[in-house]
Amino acid sequence: METNEVDRERVPKHVAIIMDGNGRWAQRRHLPRIAGHKRGMNVVEDITMAASDLGVRVLTLYAFSTENWKRPTTEVKYLMSLPSRFFNKFVPNLIANNVQVRTIGDSSQLPAETQRAVKQAQLDTATCDGMILNFALNYGSRAEITTAAQRIATEVQAGDLDPAVIDEQVLSEHLNTAFLGNEADPELLIRTSGEERLSNFLLWQLAYSELAFTDKLWPDFTPADFRAEIMAFQQRHRRFGGL
């Protein structure tokens, strides 16, 4: 049965998004690339509210990859100012909607001001027990898995871990997403701008996820587009009287 409403009983618990197309959006309008990133930041708040309203438990957003350092210095500098801009503008609304901010990735390499803003936002929202808004910052999945392997090997070497007990659960517990427990693996990945690649994002966690690719550029992605992706996900999982 087709429907034009989201079934709130079957909303994916964890949704991950690769927010692509910001530079292209600006170029099509003969604007500087950073105009696309600025617009994209406002879309982050719109989609965060839409996801929270639908009852999504975890929303993971790929904000800055380990590969993004290769971009022009001026663009990286602007990107690194966005967390502060985001929180100055949206923290009151996040708290009003009980949204908790978390991050994954190696934040130690970010500028001090960026780290400060992110740490402050996590402190300000630590008691919120609604949706978790999880920013992937200076994140790379292969680096995450490599670090997990190194940590497991160190525990074995120290005699704290028997190699015989190393299973998928043990590896998951050593990933950045371990704090998400049973909700660490996204049920749905959305990537905007028409690119159909994972780009070193959550490679372990996405093993069984539905992958949705839309041609919409991130700055043009609306709450209605987000709800349409959730409905499409539910259509893929529609029950025909079975389990």
Ligand X SMILES: CCc1cc(N2CCCCCC2)n2ncc(-c3ccc(F)cc3)c2n1
Q: What is the DSSP letter of 184?
A: -
**Torsion over CA: 15, 20, 26, 29 (sign):** negative
CA distance 22 to 70: 16
Of these, 25, 135, 139, 201, which contacts ligand X (CB under 6 A)? 135
Least CB distance to ligand X at residue 79 (A): 4
Nearest residue (CB) to ligand X, 6 versus 99: 99
Binding region for ligand X (CB under 6 A) out of 6-14, 38-46, 150-158, 185-193: 38-46
Identified binder of ligand X from the candidate list 40, 105, 140, 186, rule CB under 6 A = 40
Residues in Cβ contact with 49 at an 8 Å cutoff, skipping those fewer than 6 apart: 93, 97, 223
CA distance 110 to 124: 20
Nearest CB to ligand X, comparing residues 16 and 101: 101
Binding of ligand X by 105 (CB under 6 A)? no
86 is a site residue for ligand X (CB under 6 A)? yes
| Residue of this chain nearest to ligand X (CB atom) | 40
Q: Which residues face 58 on adjacent strands? A: 14, 132
d(CA 240, CA 224): 26
Residue 51 binding ligand X, by CB under 6 A: no
- 132 touches ligand X (CB under 6 A): no
Within a 10 A sphere around the Cβ of 101, how many other Cβ atoms?
26
State yes or no: is 93 an active-site residue.
Answer: no
Helix (H, G, I), strand (E, B) or coil at 171: helix
How far is Cα 101 from Cα 129, in angstroms, rounded to an integer? 10
- The residue within the footprint of ligand X, chosen from 11, 25, 83, 230 (CB under 6 A), is 83
- Contact with ligand X (CB under 6 A): which of 15, 17, 35, 63? 63
SS3 category, 112: helix
Minimal distance, residue 102 CB to ligand X, in Å: 9
Minimum Å gap between C-beta 58 and ligand X is 15
Catalytic residue among 42, 53, 68, 220: 68
In the complex, what is the shortest distance from the CB of residue 65 to ligand X, in angstroms, rounded to a whole number? Answer: 9
| 205 backbone dihedrals φ, ψ, rounded to 5° | -70, -25
| 68 classed as catalytic | yes
Distance CA 242, CA 223 (A): 31
Q: Shortest approach of ligand X to residue 206 CB, angstroms?
A: 19
Q: Is 35 in the site for ligand X (CB under 6 A)?
A: no
Q: What is the dihedral of CA 141, 142, 147, 150, to 10 degrees?
A: 150
Interacting residue ranges for ligand X, rule: CB under 6 A: 19, 22, 37, 40-41, 44, 63-64, 79-80, 82-83, 86, 101, 118, 121, 135, 137, 218
Instruction: Kindly list the catalytic residues.
Output: 20, 68
